[in-house]
Amino acid sequence: MQTILVTGGAGFIGSCLVRQWVAQGDLRLVNLDLLTYAGSRTSLATVADSPLHTFVEGDIRDRELVARLLAEHRPTAMVHLAAESHVDRSIDGPQRFVETNVVGTFTLLDETRKYWRELPADQRERFRFVHVSTDEVYGALGDSGTFDELSPYQPNSPYAATKASSDHLVRAYHRTYGLPTITTNSSNNYGPYQYPEKLVPLVALNALDGRPIPVYGSGNQVRDWLHVADHAQALRKVLDQGTPGETYCIGGDCEHSNLEVVHAICDAVDQLNGTAGPNSCRKLIEFVADRPGHDWRYALDSSKVHEQLGWKPTTEFAVGIRKTVRWYAENRAWVDEITGGNDRRGRLGLDC
């Protein structure tokens, strides 16, 4: 059975991938995660006793640890998700983003290269380094058009700039050393187990609690929404069938403005609470100062991954949002655990 070294597997997307891939039963996963504020072992409760999952608490910047894990577990691939991931936090404190997203990715690449070059030729050929990145590296679109794998890089936030830097390092390690790397650039994910600072969980929890729902600027910024479980399935396709040296854009073909997303969440909460009309939680919406440098629109052309890897998202947005809202309503213990019981819903990202 193949062993995969996953990084960031206690976070939002990583934990979904770990739960899904362990349930498929055909891979052994070693999960390296620092358990920052965004990661939690509670998100991995369903795989805690699985012989197919080994959790290691540690830092991707720790060279010795990374070298030891590679030597001990002899993985056939690395799937790299560990990152600082919140744009607003990158505005307030970009250094941490440079350290984790750039230096951390560099450390993984460099240690993986040393391990990979000593493998027998057939194993070297089959090895993969899958780097999970974002569509935010391409910058912002106007009202029309889409990004694809050939779009130029124009990152606007410190977060996007550090992800772009890591993508360039990944590309360079393929071109210079021949390391079989693949980069994926995905659109906005939503679903359960996301730290409640991002739009969907924050709005869901505030609506459930009858608290003000902050909407940045006009709320007309557009994102392409992808359910996290669909993303994890796409990453499995990329791992199994992707071509080294290639990049793949993974989108949900599902454009919505932030305000439309907020309305969909409010409708789901109203349905749960039996509230409607003048009592709808839409009345909690408050328009607040926009995020500095807020990208206007992202949209991805995912035809490459559709045509070459046979993957398409299957979760309908309205259904996915309803299930996500219900999950937050029913999993307050997880919210309390990951936030340490603190109210972490205050405004970030205005420090400029």
Residues that bind ligand NAD (CB under 6 A): 7-8, 10-14, 32-36, 38-39, 59-61, 81-83, 85, 100, 104, 132-134, 163, 186, 188-189, 195
- For residues 14 and 67, give the distance between their C-alpha atoms in angstroms, rounded to a whole number: 21
Helix H, strand E, coil C: the string for 46-102 is HHCCCCCEEEEECCCCCHHHHHHHHHHHCCCEEEECCCCCCHHHHHHCHHHHHHHHH
Clarify whether 136 is annotated catalytic: yes
Query: 322: which 2 tokens?
Result: 């309803």
Residue nearer to ligand NAD on the CB measure, 104 or 313: 104
If we measure between CA atoms, which residue out of 213, 233, 211 comes closest to residue 311?
Answer: 233
Pick the catalytic residue: 33, 88, 111, 136?
Answer: 136
Least distance (Å) between residue 194 CB and ligand NAD: 6
Select 124 or 171, whichever has its Cβ closest to ligand NAD: 171
Q: How far is CA 250 from CA 108, 131, 234, in A?
A: 23, 13, 7
In the complex, what is the shortest distance from the CB of residue 333 to ligand NAD, in angstroms, rounded to a whole number? 18
Which of 84, 135, 253, 301 does the annotation list as catalytic?
A: 135
Closest distance of CB 254 from ligand NAD, Å: 13
The amino acid present at 155, given as its one-letter code, is P
Cβ–Cβ under 8 Å, residues 321 and 261: yes
Between 81 and 261, CB nearer to ligand NAD: 81
Q: Is 159 annotated in the active site?
A: yes
Q: How far is CA 47 from the centre of its chain?
A: 20
State which residue, 272 or 335, has the beta carbon closest to ligand NAD.
Answer: 335
Is 12 or 334 the residue whose CB approaches ligand NAD more closely? 12
Tell me phi and psi for residue 101, to 5 degrees.
Answer: -75, -35
Report yes or no: 223 and 194 within 8 Å, Cβ to Cβ.
Answer: no
DSSP category for residue 281: G
Residue for token digits 């937050």? 328
Active site residue 193: no
Q: 87 or 179, CB closer to ligand NAD? A: 87
Q: Least distance in Å: CB of 347 to ligand NAD?
A: 18
Q: In the complex, what is the shortest distance from the CB of residue 344 to ligand NAD, in angstroms, rounded to a whole number?
A: 13
Say if residues 219 and 107 touch (Cβ distance below 8 Å): no
- Count of all residues that appear for the chain in the document: 352
Minimum distance from residue 219 beta carbon to ligand NAD (Å): 18
Query: Which neighbouring-strand residues pair with 223?
Result: 256
Torsions phi, psi for 190 (to 5 deg): -140, 160
Stated as kind and residue range, the H or E segment containing 107 is helix 105-117
- Closest-approach residue to ligand NAD (CB): 11
Active site residues: 135-136, 159
